Structure formats: C-alpha cells, structure tokens
Structure 1
C-alpha cells in the first residue's frame, strides 16, 4: 500500500505529460497585424499567428481602454487567442520609447514558451486624434 501511494505522484506526472506533450516551438510568425486606438477611448489589436514548427493559424484579437490622449495603454490585460492556451500582451514602454508585443504558449503544464518583439515607435502615428500602428503587417518573433 505504501508503495502504491509513493508512486502516485509519478503516475500523475506521467498522465499530465501524456495530456500536455512538450512543444518545441522555435518561432511565432505574426501576420495581418494591426493595432489602433480610436477617439472613443478604446485600443484594439488583431493579428494571425502560426507557431513554428507548424500549427493551425490562430486568430488573436482584443481591446483595452486607451491611455491619455487616445494612446496605447502602458500594458494591455492578458488576451487569449483562438487557442486559449496562446496569449498575448501589448505594452507601451514610454521609458524606452518603444512598444512591445509579448506572446506566450502555455500548452505544457509548468513550461511556458514565449517570445517578444519591440516595435519601432516610428511605426506609430496619430490619425484623427488617436494612435495607430502603421508598420509591417508581418514579422517573426523568436521563441525562448
């Protein structure tokens, strides 16, 4: 009986590994990226995402309250993609004059795979009184 209980944690770990196999993601490919705030005080993000090695195309989109002057907030809340184990956060890093997109894959219990990229502030402008992203619509983010 003691042996059975002693092996229970091992059996549970093995079962979790079978349900959540390890994923070896090297890159996140972002395409159709758009980000914009509006004069009503809301910012939105929308993009498609593929993890490499290949997965289905995921749709990632969300909204958050705009910062002062209808600009991107310091940080959005955590937003889930169409696969809810893949999440993103958008940050306005005013202290270094940059913007950052952070992506995390939490499929494997206890092992988050993530990546982030800095977006050039030159790719953001004010249009009709609100901040808008005008840069590349497609880019890769290295996973770590």
Structure 2
C-alpha cells in the first residue's frame, strides 16, 4: 500500500517547496526570460541614471509575468483533495472498501503531518527560527486529486 501511495503521490500534480522557491525567485528576478536586461557595465564608476533604469525590467512585462505566475500557482476553483471524488465513482463493493481504506491512510498521514507541524510551531524559540518551520507540502489535504487535473 505504501508503494502504491508513493507512486500516486509522485505521479500526481503536487505543489512542492521547489515550486514555491521558483515562484519566489521569478517574482523578483530581473534576469528571468521575459525580463532580460542588458549586461552589467564593464567599467567601474561610469553608470548613469539612464543605464541604471535600463537594468530594471519593464513595468508592463513585470506585471504580465507576475499575474501569470499568480494565476498558475493559485489553487483550482474546483479543487478536490487526493483520493476524493465529486461523483460517487466507487459507491459499493470491493472498490468502495479499497477507496475508504486509502482515504483512512491519507487521513492518518495528514493528521501526523499536522501534529508534527504543530509541534514544530510550538518548539520555535522565536518567530524567525527557520529550523522549526512547518512543512505541509506533501500533506494529502494539499495534494490535488490527479483525475481532477
């Protein structure tokens, strides 16, 4: 069962920490593809105001890129968590029992992650303590059902 869950998790669309980091970097990175800037000056001390402004990305391009990234990283309006279905696809018999068993395991995993994250938040000595940041990216409640994609 663990192998099946791992396969489903890895094959389904998950929002990982790497995605979050890339979104954060792209939102402020003036060298991102749509925001290419001229190369930096080669001679020290000869930078003019016009040169400085030429390194900043165009406002319209920046807004388009940030809007696109925000829309693409937002949760879907028809979001359905992993192993849950809007229609009663598995309504009786053995398939229903299997789905309920997987859902119970996913609930246990989600509860475990929530408990560990609560423990981390309580263990943080200061609000800036990055060693105690909660990690919920693989929480089954935050993973979208692959058939909903």
TM (norm. structure 2) is: 0.21
Higher RCO structure, 1 or 2 (CA under 8 Å, sep 6+): 2
Relative to total residues, which structure has the larger helix share, 1 or 2? 2
TM (norm. structure 1) is: 0.22
Give the greater-gyration-radius structure (CA): 2
